[in-house]
Amino acid sequence: MAQKKRKPVLAKQPESTTSTRLLQLMFLASYIALGYLFFIDGDLPIIGGIIILDFIISIGYGVSQRKHILTSTTAQYNIRMILSFLITLITTTFYALALVRSDQTSVSMKTMLVIVGACVYLAVLSSSKGIIQQYVEREQ
């Protein structure tokens, strides 16, 4: 029998995960700092500055990686992580503002807000798997 000729498989270089680790560390440090400032009733300009800095870094990463988002799995994960973190920031910010406005900020409510914020982050991150691939397949 004639054997099929196989196409040579090109070795795929492993993608660097440095940007992923840096983003994770930056988001973790930011979330801890925001939680701490919220617990001690920190200054609102400092909290707002941290949130704006997170948005600027996230948008900057998205713009710098826009060509690689559709092909790189690392870039896709990073974009999912950024979107999850930004959704968490927006959700917890408005909930914290509602707590402050209604004068219901107790230690237990602050603790619950920080824990629920982390759960929202993990839920959005895990539920967004494959969403970029579905978008690419739909566009083709």
58: three-class secondary structure by DSSP = helix
Identify whether the C-beta of residue 23 lies closer than 8 Å to the C-beta of residue 78. yes
The model carries a pTM of 0.78
Confidence of residue 10 (pLDDT cuts 50, 70, 90): very low
56, pLDDT greater than 70: yes
Residue type, 54: D
Burial class (CB in 10 A: 0-12, 13-18, 19+), 93: middle
Identify whether the C-beta of residue 86 lies closer than 8 Å to the C-beta of residue 58. yes
Confidence of residue 55 (pLDDT cuts 50, 70, 90): very high
Predicted confidence at residue 8, as pLDDT, reads 59
Measured in whole angstroms, how far is the alpha carbon of residue 101 from the centre of its chain?
27
Confidence of residue 15 (pLDDT cuts 50, 70, 90): low
Predicted confidence at residue 74, as pLDDT, reads 83
The tens digit of pLDDT for each residue in 57-86 reads: 999 988 888 888 878 888 888 888 999 999
The DSSP line for 89-135 is HHHHHHHHHHHHHTT---HHHHHHHHHHHHHHHHHHHHHTTTHHHHH
Q: Residues 4-19, buried b or exposed e (16+ Cβ, 10 A)?
A: eeeeeeeeeeeeeeeb
- List Cβ neighbours of 55 (8 Å cut-off, separation of 6 or more): 86
Q: Which two tokens stand for residue 52?
A: 């704006």
CA distance 98 to 94: 6
